[in-house]
Chain A
Amino acid sequence: EIVLTQSPGTLSLSPGERATLSCRASQSVSSSYLAWYQQKPGQAPRLLMYGASSRATGIPDRFSGSGSGTEFTLTITRLEPEDFAVYYCQQYGRSPFTFGQGTKLEI
């Protein structure tokens, strides 16, 4: 099983600042089958990024993803108030399709 470790656990920033979230895998993630999801309280997760660096439909370009192998990063430039949420990475290249424990982005 591929274990995903996200850091930091909580990130405290202000609107307009830049956020950098990390996801480290215990084994190489095949073909960069790495996704990022955003979840707000009381809502289902929403797909942000797939293939490590491709934005999902409707996701603004202030969100970007990078990385390969075992190290991946989600960057949010110019934080908007609606960006404060919990973010999860997931690998979907090999079953079980594991998630990271999440990073809470708070004001």
Chain B
Amino acid sequence: EVQLVESGGDLVQPGRSLRLSCAASGFTFDDYPMHWVRQAPGKGLEWVSGISWNGVNTAYADSVKGRFTISRDNSKNSLYLQMNSLRVEDTALYYCAKRDGAYDIWGQGTMVTVSS
């Protein structure tokens, strides 16, 4: 079964850091770019970041550029999102998604809450 499972979400104070993980199974992980998309409570979808199949190319939304870092470990079939200098407005459910053109596979998400 093709599956993505996110983990690492938590309640953190503003200014702190958090690292999200996404474990992939059921497909050849290193064949595909991978992305992160977030959804604030009661809001729409917001693209956050993407990484090429080999990790060489990355891209970020302006709202997270300079604070978030996407990476992957193809030997572990895993995707990561290092989030530094977290802000209240980063509060959201974070999804990882497999990109085969569009996002054909999504995880169930991990919740990040930034609050003092």
Chain A residues with Cβ below 8 Å from B59 are 95-96
Q: A44-B107, A96-B62, A97-B50 are in contact. Are A88 and B45 (CB under 8 A)?
A: yes
Pairs A–B under 8 Å by Cβ, sample size 23: A35-B101, A37-B45, A44-B95, A44-B106, A45-B37, A45-B45, A45-B103, A47-B102, A50-B104, A51-B101, A56-B104, A90-B45, A90-B47, A92-B99, A95-B50, A95-B59, A96-B59, A96-B62, A97-B35, A97-B50, A98-B47, A101-B44, A102-B44
Query: In the assembly, what is the distance between CA of A102 and CA of B45, in Å?
Result: 8
Chain A residues with Cβ below 8 Å from B62 are 1, 96
Query: In the assembly, what is the distance between CA of A50 and CA of B61, in Å?
Result: 22
Number of interface residues of A (CB under 8 A): 24
CB of B106 within 8 A of CB of A92, answer no
- Counting CB contacts under 8 A, is A46 at the interface? yes
Chain A residues with Cβ below 8 Å from B46 are 99
Query: In the assembly, what is the distance between CA of A33 and CA of B35, in Å?
Result: 16
Query: In the assembly, what is the distance between CA of A98 and CA of B50, in Å?
Result: 12
Number of interface residues of B (CB under 8 A): 20
CB of B44 within 8 A of CB of A99, answer yes
Query: In the assembly, what is the distance between CA of A39 and CA of B47, in Å?
Result: 15
Chain A residues with Cβ below 8 Å from B37 are 45, 99
Query: In the assembly, what is the distance between CA of A44 and CA of B106, in Å?
Result: 7
Residues 81-107 of A, flagged 1 when their CB comes within 8 A of B and 0 if not, give 000000010101001111111100000
- Counting CB contacts under 8 A, is B108 at the interface? yes
Chain B residues with Cβ below 8 Å from A99 are 37, 44-47
Minimum Cβ distance to chain A for residue B100 (Å): 9
CB of B106 within 8 A of CB of A90, answer no
